Amino acid sequence: MPLTARKKPSSKPAPLLALGAHPDDVEFGCGAVLVQAARAGRPVHVVVCTRGEAASHGTPAGRAREARRAATLMGATLAFLVLGRDAALEARPAAARALAGLIRRVRPEIVLAPTLEVDQHPDHVVVGQLARDAARLARFGGLAGLRGAPHAIGQLFHYSVTPEAEPAAGGRILVDVSAPEVVAAWTAAMTAHSTQLRTRHYVQLQLSRARVLGLRAGVEYALALFPASAPLVTGLDGLTRAARRF
């Protein structure tokens, strides 16, 4: 499917754009949120910014096949926008402009990208930085050479691929992803990255993290997202329940 947002009825939710540095980041970091959004009728687009060629296991071609399978299982589209080599990604202005052009084409309401914590794969931090910068550049109407109409996203949320990438300070929101069909599709999407599971129990790690967060909040499974800026709400009707339940 082409990664260009089509004209949609006003009743259909605006797209969600999830950015990853490597072919499995989005699935492990926020896959259940994407499954839930897709099942609710929101167009979900996954974009990967390297080929994952520095991985200890798997080839770029094989990892691309795994990523395509995982995207299908999540109900998302997949595209590669290669901004540099795996393990050598840099927060260059040209890369931010390329992502800004992508944002203008897809016109998402929500963007998900890795957190900015330094205690993780450095490529993750770079993609988080680029997402933040690109979201701002996409708004500027006078930016020469950037095609497409200016677009302002509604919110940038960061996700953590590993526990070490969770910000120690700042706010977070918990997303209840307990529906059995959501957990099943998320698990299948993570399992699709079989080359990355040869020596690490990544699926068990992510399910355990979500289970602990869910139990603490009084639900089965939950994922944490970290707002780049405070969300603006129109009222308190949907904010009557705190996450702390244990």
Quick one: average pLDDT of 134-138?
Answer: 98
DSSP characters for the chain? Answer: --SSPPP--TTSPPPEEEEESSTTHHHHHHHHHHHHHHHTT--EEEEESS--TT-SS--HHHHHHHHHHHHHHHT-EEEE---S-TT-----HHHHHHHHHHHHHH--SEEEEE---SSS-HHHHHHHHHHHHHHHHTT-TT-TT--S-----SEEEEE-SSGGGS-SSS--EEEE---HHHHHHHHHHHHT-GGGGSS--HHHHHHHHHHHHHHHHTSS-EEEEEESSPPP-S-STT----S---
Judge whether residue 180 has pLDDT over 60: yes
Give the residue, 4 or 11, on which the prediction is more confident.
11
Give me 151's structure tokens: 């677009």
**What is the structure's pLDDT at 10?**
56
Question: What domains appear along the chain, each with residue ranges and CATH number?
Answer: 16-227 (3.40.50.10320)
**What is the structure's pLDDT at 5?**
53
> Is 203 within 8 Å of 197 (Cβ atoms)?
yes
Judge whether residue 8 has pLDDT over 70: no
Position 57 confidence tier, pLDDT thresholds 50, 70, 90: very high
**What is the structure's pLDDT at 11?**
76
Quick one: average pLDDT of 118-136?
Answer: 96
**CA 128/CA 59 separation, integer angstroms:** 24
Position 1 confidence tier, pLDDT thresholds 50, 70, 90: very low
Position 170 confidence tier, pLDDT thresholds 50, 70, 90: confident
**What is the structure's pLDDT at 212?**
97
Question: What is the percent of the chain with per-residue pLDDT over 90, rounded to a whole number?
Answer: 89
Quick one: average pLDDT of 101-129?
Answer: 97
Give the residue, 119 or 175, on which the prediction is more confident.
175
Quick one: average pLDDT of 40-69?
Answer: 97
